């Protein structure tokens, strides 16, 4: 395991670590998605190998919608450049047409709404507190990492509301973004915990210091409770990821979000080599290339999000 020496990890290593970490967490967790911890134990012992399978019958190293939607969003940001709601909705619609291996119900509904109305944003909905906008939000963190907070938040809501328009979900996504950006800047993990605690103060439902959450649903609150419990109690990329994916439930998504946070915190070299090389080469290269391109775009001082 790599030691956690913040001084030695560059911004680029953190950003690439976040993107490859997202894909690694997605690929690792896809195997145990929708299983209970007991079923995981029976079938795999402690699950710690990127071996594919799962309910989607993946090949080893294949990823799901979490990574794919991130790459689609990132490509749209690079093309526009910036977050433009109509461009993002069009990109998601094209992606859905490509018959992805998996797609969430709320995402599908948002895309159908765009196709039928031409309106790229869905109306506010108290039931849309799924984790689908959070899981794909890493490109926003990278290309707005040095932007003013209000610009980053506007960009986050713009991409989120293409499918998910819910205040509780927005708050969770924005906390994850702030944690990512802070980790890119090399602030210590204790400062990231304050961001999570601020979220709990805003929405008490996110409280994660009580019972251990297992078998999390796609509700962003349960997803982030699992991610925060593992992220703040484990001390390495590997231990954080093994912790979340063995809790089952929406394990590819807890894996993806924990993977981006841990990768940003510890850097790409802290991701176990066998996990990095187990990813499909095409996916790993896409994550690496987009990290670099989005960072370069950030340097140009990207402007406000557009509708």
Rounded to the nearest 10 degrees, the angle between the axes of helix 220-233 and helix 167-184 is 30
Structure tokens at 108: 């599908």
CB of residue 249 to Mg ion, shortest distance in Å: 9
What is the C-alpha separation between 216 and 34, in angstroms, rounded?
9
Q: Indicate whether 68 belongs to the interface with Mg ion (CB under 5 A).
A: no
Footprint on residues 138-157 left by Mg ion (CB under 5 A) = none
Q: Indicate whether 222 belongs to the interface with Mg ion (CB under 5 A).
A: no
CB of residue 34 to Mg ion, shortest distance in Å: 9
Nearer to Mg ion, 202 or 215 (CB): 215
If one counts every other C-beta atom within 10 angstroms of the C-beta of residue 296, the result is 11
List 32, 225, 253, 291, residue binding Mg ion (CB under 5 A): 253
Count, residues near Mg ion per rule CB under 5 A? 7
What is the C-alpha separation between 281 and 82, in angstroms, rounded?
27
List 62, 65, 174, 243, residue binding Mg ion (CB under 5 A): 65
CB of residue 154 to Mg ion, shortest distance in Å: 26
Nearer to Mg ion, 24 or 305 (CB): 24
If one counts every other C-beta atom within 10 angstroms of the C-beta of residue 213, the result is 21
Name the residue with the smallest CB distance to Mg ion: 64
Q: Indicate whether 64 belongs to the interface with Mg ion (CB under 5 A).
A: yes
Contact by Cβ (8 Å): 259, 12: no
List 103, 252, 265, 271, residue binding Mg ion (CB under 5 A): 252
In degrees and rounded to multiples of 5, residue 84 shows phi and psi of -120, 120
What is the C-alpha separation between 238 and 67, in angstroms, rounded?
19
Nearer to Mg ion, 81 or 218 (CB): 218
Stretch that binds Mg ion, among 47-55, 94-102, 143-151, 209-217 (CB under 5 A): 94-102
In degrees and rounded to multiples of 5, residue 234 shows phi and psi of -100, 155
Continuous H helices in 203-280: 220-233, 237-245, 251-266, 273-278
What is the C-alpha separation between 212 and 288, in angstroms, rounded?
34
Nearer to Mg ion, 222 or 252 (CB): 252
Nearer to Mg ion, 8 or 55 (CB): 55
Q: Which of 86, 60, 91, 99 is nearest to 75 (CA)?
A: 91
Nearer to Mg ion, 65 or 243 (CB): 65
**Interface contacts to Mg ion, rule CB under 5 A:** 64-66, 102, 250, 252-253
């Amino acid at each position: 395991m790599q030691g956690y020496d913040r001084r030695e990890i560059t911004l680029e290593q953190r950003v690439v670590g976040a993107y490859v970490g997202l894909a690694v967490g997605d690929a690792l967790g896809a195997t145990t998605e929708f299983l209970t911890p007991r079923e995981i134990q029976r079938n795999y012992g402690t699950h710690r190998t990127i071996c594919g399978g799962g309910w989607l019958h993946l090949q080893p190293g294949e990823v799901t919608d979490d990574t794919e939607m991130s790459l689609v969003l990132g490509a749209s940001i690079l093309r526009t450049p910036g977050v433009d709601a109509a461009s993002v909705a069009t990109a998601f619609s094209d992606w859905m047409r490509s018959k992805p291996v998996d797609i969430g119900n709320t995402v599908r509904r948002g895309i159908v709404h765009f196709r039928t109305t031409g309106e790229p944003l869905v109306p506010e909905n108290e039931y849309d507190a799924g984790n689908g906008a959070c899981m794909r939000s890493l490109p926003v963190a990278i290309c707005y990492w040095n932007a003013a907070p209000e610009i980053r938040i506007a960009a986050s809501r713009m991409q989120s509301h293409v499918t998910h328009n819910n205040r509780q979900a927005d708050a969770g996504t924005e906390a994850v973004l702030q944690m990512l950006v802070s980790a890119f800047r090399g602030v210590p993990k204790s400062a990231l915990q304050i961001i999570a605690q601020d979220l709990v103060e805003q929405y008490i439902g996110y409280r994660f210091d009580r019972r251990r959450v297992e078998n999390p649903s796609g509700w962003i609150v349960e997803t982030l409770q699992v991610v925060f419990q593992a992220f703040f109690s484990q001390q390495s990329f590997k231990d954080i990821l093994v912790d979340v994916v063995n809790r089952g439930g929406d394990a590819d998504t807890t894996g993806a979000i924990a993977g981006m946070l841990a990768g940003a915190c510890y850097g790409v070299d802290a991701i176990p080599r066998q996990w990095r090389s187990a990813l499909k080469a095409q996916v790993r290269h896409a994550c690496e290339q987009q990290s670099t391109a989005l960072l370069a775009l950030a340097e140009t001082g990207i402007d406000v999000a557009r509708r």
